[in-house]
Amino acid sequence: MSRAWLHRVLEIPLVYRVVQALVGGGAHDLDAVYDRLFGDVRGRVLDVGCGPSADTPPPEGTLVGLDVNPRYVEQYCRTDSTGPQRLGVVASADRIPFRDDAFDECRTAAVLHHLPDELLRRTFVEMHRTVRRGGRIAVFDMVWPRSFWSSPVAWLICRFDRGEWVRTDQALIGLARSSCDGEWESQSFSYTWLGLRGVTLVLCKR
């Protein structure tokens, strides 16, 4: 089985969700992380690299999903009438098609390891441009475990993930800080019994 073939199969929304559930097995802390990081938000929120489903807590307001995959965006916009207003746009994260200061929050979850460094820098710049003053950028992404021997299964998951740019926590934090002025708050942690590690990053725009 080639890596390219596997990645094409993962473009199917249902397959994507099943694999996410299996790989994230034992993600005992991730729901709590998402609640702390993305919960209790009001207004207009941009979900960058949204994928086929809204996996983060919805805001009290409008949730706009952005993804390069039209099938993902179509699936993302399907919601019941009791949820928040949910919209979608097909676009690249480094060219967000909205005006300056358009959102109260720009968020992204488990996406940045799909982006090479220069594209990631432009994505941070675009998120900063489109969030209003007083709003914030909120980020979660997976990072390499401390070593292969400390978490071999997690290391292999990172190695064969379809995102080719899994970084160390310090590399990801450094890219964020070099892309946007301001005080980034960061936290590194393990979030599955398999040893997968993640980083949260928050920047309040002044």
Helix (H) or strand (E) holding 189: strand 185-190
- DSSP-assigned letters across all residues of 60-99: EEEEEEEES-HHHHHHHT---TTS-EEEEEE--TTS--S-
pLDDT digits (tens, 9 = 90+) for 22-80: 555 455 577 888 999 998 899 999 999 999 988 899 999 999 999 999 999 999 988 65
pLDDT digits (tens, 9 = 90+) for 82-126: 667 889 999 999 999 999 999 999 999 999 999 999 999 999 999
Task: Evaluate if residue 142 carries a pLDDT over 80.
Answer: yes
Residue 69 CA to residue 49 CA, distance in Å, equals 9
Q: What is the pTM of this model?
A: 0.83
Task: Evaluate if residue 15 carries a pLDDT over 80.
Answer: no
Superfamily of domain 3-204: Vaccinia Virus protein VP39 (3.40.50.150)
Residue extents of the structural domains in the chain: 3-204
Instruction: Count Cβ neighbours within 10 Å for each residue of 148-158 and write b for 16 or more, e otherwise.
Output: eeebeebbebb
Closest by alpha carbon to 36, among 56, 19, 22, 54? 56
| pLDDT band at residue 2 using 50, 70 and 90 as cut-offs | very low
pLDDT at 1: 45
